[in-house]
Structure 1
Amino acid sequence: MIQLYKKREFGELFSDTFAFLRQTGKHFYKNYFLINGAFILVLMVLAYFFMKVYTSLLATSQGPINPDATIENYFNDNALLIVIFMAVFALVAVFVTFITYIYTPVYMLLYAKKGAADFTTKDIVNTLKKNTGKLFIYFFASMLISLAVFLGGGIAILILFVTGIGIFLIPLVVAVITLSYNNAFMEYLDSGKGIFNCFEYGLQLTFKRFWVSAGCVALFYFMIQIIQGIMTLIPYLVGIFSVFTSSSSLGSDPDESMGILLTIMLVFYVLSFLLGLVGNTVVQMNQGIVYFSLKEENENINTASVIDQIGTSGD
């Protein structure tokens, strides 16, 4: 089993992230989808109905009536239903995002305490319930701090984007921000420190070995984005190609054409969404490995534990 509290160099942060994913992947994603799977399914169903209604409106508006007017009339006639639908969609989406964000840190902290993936879905859920108060405090504090962080980060990203070559440094800015937040979150869950002390500590850890830690996370972001882009671009291009090469059927049977378009959109959405969720958890695994490595280097937790065990065995 992989040891989390361990000093690591750049290459080890990569190899240990993949080692953790390889050793715990089945257990990790099984519990993730048991906890969050139902809400992900609901989100996809809601997205399906939204796209189905929209494409149906586009199909029925292929006539003398202005398409924009047809869609506008539909929204005006069903305003209450649409508001309820969008509210439910937003709530489910926020909940899925919330669980996705907190799941990986909680899982890795449990793994660190147990020394292995020797815990159940119930243990994870109980840990989430036990830390409900801390979770809300963390997110409220995050929103307050984010006002300044995202303003500064946004300006930095804009400058990098304008300079052209700086575009390649944008993942580094994102990595610094997200790693600092993740360090603070894991420290807050795992210690009795105050929330703002944890944010200060998280930032301190990020800059302790800046190019090693932030650079590693930035490369993970870059890799995940490339993989996700390629995997989602393939069905999208296939769909566009099939629409343009079947122009004869578009005029004869618009309903069938819209059905094909809807299927393509659904495939694109499902692949993009699921890959996004999985990709985010992998990046968070890497951030967790970085956190445990920096914390060990800063506090010598594992070294002290080994010394204590030697002293106990000597008695």
Structure 2
Amino acid sequence: MFQLYKKRGFSEFVGDTFEFLKLEGKNYFKNYFIINGPLLLILVVCIYFLMKVYMDAVFSTMATQNPNPNNILNNLMNNIPLFLSLGFVAFVLIILVSLINYSFPVSYLKLIGEKSEITTQSIFNLMKEKLGRTILFFLASLLVFLPIITIVMILLVLLMIIAIGFPLLIIIGPALISWLKLSYYDYITTENNYLKSVGNGFDLLKVKFWPIVGSTIIMYIIFYFVSSIFTMVPYFIGLATIFTDIQTNPDKTEAFSTISILASVVMVLSILSNYTLQNLIFLNQGIIFYSITDEKENISIKSDIDLIGSDSE
């Protein structure tokens, strides 16, 4: 089983994230898609048809001899019940899928830390047990983290006038993200109140600020690079196919219909890749959390001593 409590530096924060996937990835993503897969499937179907309705309204207007922007609204109004219904369902599903995306990796790593059996049922039970705290964390963060992030971003934008804002943004942005996620890990894995966990998250961040920020930046670069492959490659292939078809068959209606489908498919792929790859970020922050916790509390050393005692018996 993967060793969570272990002293790590910058390279280990990144390397052990992929080591975790090597050892636990198959079981991790199998359970992830068992729990979150049905909701993700319904979500992407809703998004696909939402995009299809909107894009059809836009391109049906553009395909006319004298395109009128007001016709887009008229075309949408013809499908307004379907559009609003799909929009409402998609909104609810986004909230549910996001809650699972936050709580699943935390629950999985908590079970590893406790050396408990990891099954779909055990993960689901722990997620259900911590659901109230997860929702409370989200709501409280709107009052605590959102104002902080807003004020910091405004200051950074102002500092961009004198160029210093750009490097500060690269550093402070990941630091704020890591602070939020470390606070969440502390809040879910302990019985601390919200403000105590926020303070603990900040203290954990300060212990190894530069290695934590550096590994967070690296993981986000990987995240955006891989997600771009899943979305941009099909997008460019589709566009190349469409332009080839237009040259051989200059029927605008058919071309716009193909573009509409392509845009919807790219949106679906973007959502699937985004939610799935977010696990990399959460796992990386979890490894950071358990590593810094071990440095403060020497849990791995205590565990080794216990093992020596049990062996001697």
| Common fold by TM > 0.5 | yes
Across the aligned residues of Structure 1 and Structure 2, the Cα RMSD in angstroms comes to: 2.4
Q: Are residue 54 (structure 1) and residue 76 (structure 2) matched? A: no
Q: Residue 159 of structure 1: CA displacement?
A: 4.6
Aligned equivalent of 1:264: 262
| Residues 298-309 of structure 1 mapped to structure 2, 5 A cutoff | 298-309=296-307
* Aligned residue number for residue 11 of structure 1: 11
Do the aligned residues in 1 keep the contact of 2:59 with 2:257 (CA within 8 Å)?
A: no
- Deviation readout 1:134-166 (Å, 9 max, x if unpaired): 122212211111232221332254256555575
SS at 1:114's partner residue?
coil
Cα distance in 2 for partners of 1:42, 1:277 equals 14
- Report the CA distance between 1:192 and its aligned residue: 2.0
Segment drifting more, 37-46 vs 174-183: 174-183
Judge conservation of contact 2:108–2:118 (CA < 8 Å) in 1.
no
Which residue of 1 is the match for residue 124 of structure 2? Answer: 125
Does structure 1 conserve the Cα–Cα contact (< 8 Å) formed by 2:101 and 2:279? Answer: yes
The CA deviation at 1:13 is 1.5
Q: How many residues are paired up?
A: 312
Corresponding letter in the other structure for 1:285 = L
Change (3 A) 1:28 1:67: farther
Report the TM-score when normalising by structure 1: 0.89
Worse overlay, 157-166 or 125-134: 157-166
Contact 2:137–2:184, Cα closer than 8 Å, also in 1: yes
Which deviations, in whole Å up to 9, do the C-alpha atoms of 1:176-229 show, x marking residues without a partner? 122112211111122222111011000110111100112111111122212322
**Corresponding residue of 1:239:** 238
Structure 2 counterpart of 1:297: 295
- What displacement does 1:55 show? 3.2
Aligned-partner Cα distance in 2 for 1:207–1:83: 46
Aligned partner of 1:72 in structure 2 is 73
Q: Is the 8 A contact 1:157 1:170 kept in 2?
A: yes
Alpha-carbon separation, structure 2, partners of 1:21 and 1:159: 40
> Aligned equivalents of 2:75 and 2:84: distance in 1?
13
Distance 2:2 2:162 in 1: 42
| 1:62-211 pair list within 5 angstroms | 62-64=63-65, 66-114=67-115, 118-159=117-158, 162=161, 167=166, 170-211=169-210
Change (3 A) 1:245 1:215: same
1:43 CA drift (Å): 1.1
Where do 5+ consecutive residues of structure 2 fail to align?
none
CA distance, structure 2, for counterparts of residue 313 and residue 63 of structure 1: 81
Q: CA deviation at 1:247?
A: 3.0
Identity, in percent, stands at 30
Corresponding letter in the other structure for 2:7: K
Q: Give the equivalent residue in structure 2 for 1:41.
A: 41
Q: Provide closer, same or farther for how the CA distance between residues 281 and 296 of structure 1 changes in structure 2, counting only shifts above 3 A.
A: same
Q: TM-score, normalised by structure 2?
A: 0.90
The SS at the match of 1:28 is helix
Bigger CA drift: 30-39 or 174-183? 174-183
Counterpart residue number, 1:213 = 212
- CA–CA separation in structure 2 for the residues paired with 1:113 and 1:174: 32
What's the CA shift for 1:309? 4.0
Q: Secondary structure at the match of 1:39?
A: helix
Q: Aligned partners of 2:216 and 2:85: how far apart in 1?
A: 39
How big is each residue's C-alpha offset from its partner over 1:96-140, in whole Å with a ceiling of 9 and x where there is no partner? 12211221111111111126xx41111111101111221222122
Q: Cα–Cα, structure 1 residues 58 and 239, in superposed 2: closer, same or farther, change >3 Å?
A: same
Query: CA, structure 1 residues 184+95, in 2 after alignment: closer, same or farther (shift >3 Å)?
Result: same
Q: Which residue in the other structure is 1:20 paired with?
A: 20
8 Å CA contact 1:131–1:189 kept in 2: the answer is: yes
